[in-house]
Amino acid sequence: MYYHDKRLQYPVKVDSPDPIYARMLQQAIGGIEGEIRVCMQYFFQAWGNRAPTTKYRDMLLATATEELGHIEMLATAVALNLENAPTKVQEAGAADAIVGAIMGGENPRHIAEGMLHKTLLSTGMAAFPGNSDGLPFDMSHVYASGNIAADMYCNVAAESTGRVLAVRLYNATTDAGMRDMWSFLIARDTMHQQQWLAVIEELGGHAGTLPIPNSFPQEKENQKFNYAFFGTSADGSPPPAGRWTQGPSLDGKGTFSVVQNQPMGEEPVLGPARPDSGAESQQIG
């Protein structure tokens, strides 16, 4: 059961409405790095969590609910950036070569006008559950494996890419209200990164969680290859030396080594095509 408070989690103010920035904000809502993604990821991880204790489920639910508030903040920011935006703002953005590069090399004026047309006709000058290209979020980047350690590592990655996007959006505006909003959201990304890493530490860190799933007996692995880095240079030259090529593995359960990748199997030979497969007669044996 969820409860709603009509007040925003944190103030959202826009001093100078900017329709191009509104479009950029959509990436933080419905992009693969956005708030819908992490919100749904944490909800589904929580709803499927199985453990002797419910504390991880409860923690995930709390953070997923917080992310709903972030979506609301960003949707409000989009609407405010589209509210009473003067034409000269659109034209100034269209003339900015940097904005054009950020928006993927397209004509920024077309982008601004296209965004306004979409938000006017489809959403009444409001946000929508899609990315900055107008594509709807399709849940394909929601990871909920049923393995708490795997999910936590996925969450660290999600919050890391989300914070990268948030920092870029902070730097893409000089609007004081928008920067204040981002200062809050970036701070929450920092906490959430630490939060998921804290769960991994509580589960035993790298040694306690890796390799995932730790419930599978490692003696059933091929011991020759479980900590070997494969070199794939055609001339057989060794790969660049690094932490991953020598010394103890991070989980403390093996030693890194280097193996030159060579074929260990035979060339595959498939049987003839079936008579009813629609293949050419020369393929059918």
Band (pLDDT 50/70/90 cuts) for residue 141 is very high
Cis before 239? omega within 30: no
Residue 67 labelled as part of a binding site:
yes
Q: What is the tally of helices (H) and strands (E) in the chain?
A: 9, 3
Same domain, 185 and 71: yes
Residue 122 labelled as part of a binding site:
no
Choice between 103 and 72, residue whose per-residue pLDDT is larger? 72
Beta carbons within 10 angstroms of residue 82's beta carbon: 25
| Predicted local confidence at residue 115, as pLDDT | 54
Is the full-model pTM beyond 0.95? no
Least confident of 89-103, 191-205, 257-271: 89-103
Same domain, 52 and 151: yes
Residue 117 labelled as part of a binding site:
no
Same domain, 62 and 175: yes
Beta carbons within 10 angstroms of residue 205's beta carbon: 14
CATH number, domain containing residue 124: 1.20.1260.10
Please state the domain count of the chain. 2
Last-in-domain residue among 186, 205, 224: 205
Q: What is the pLDDT of residues 42-87, one digit of tens each?
A: 999 999 999 899 999 999 999 999 999 999 999 999 999 998 754 4
Residue 106 labelled as part of a binding site:
no
Residue 35 labelled as part of a binding site:
yes
Same domain, 87 and 201: yes
| Predicted local confidence at residue 27, as pLDDT | 97
Band (pLDDT 50/70/90 cuts) for residue 236 is confident
Residue 151 labelled as part of a binding site:
no
- Is residue 178 scored above 80 in pLDDT? yes
Residue 72 labelled as part of a binding site:
no
Which residues make Cβ contacts (< 8 Å) with residue 215, sequence separation at least 6?
A: none
Choice between 1 and 280, residue whose per-residue pLDDT is larger? 280
Tell me how far the alpha carbon of residue 195 is from its chain's centroid. Answer: 17
Least confident of 56-65, 106-115, 125-134, 167-176: 106-115
| Predicted local confidence at residue 285, as pLDDT | 79
| Predicted local confidence at residue 111, as pLDDT | 45
Same domain, 133 and 252: no
| Predicted local confidence at residue 119, as pLDDT | 54
Q: CA-CA distance, 33 to 21, in Å (whole number)?
A: 17
| Domain interval for residue 221 | 216-263
Same domain, 117 and 64: yes
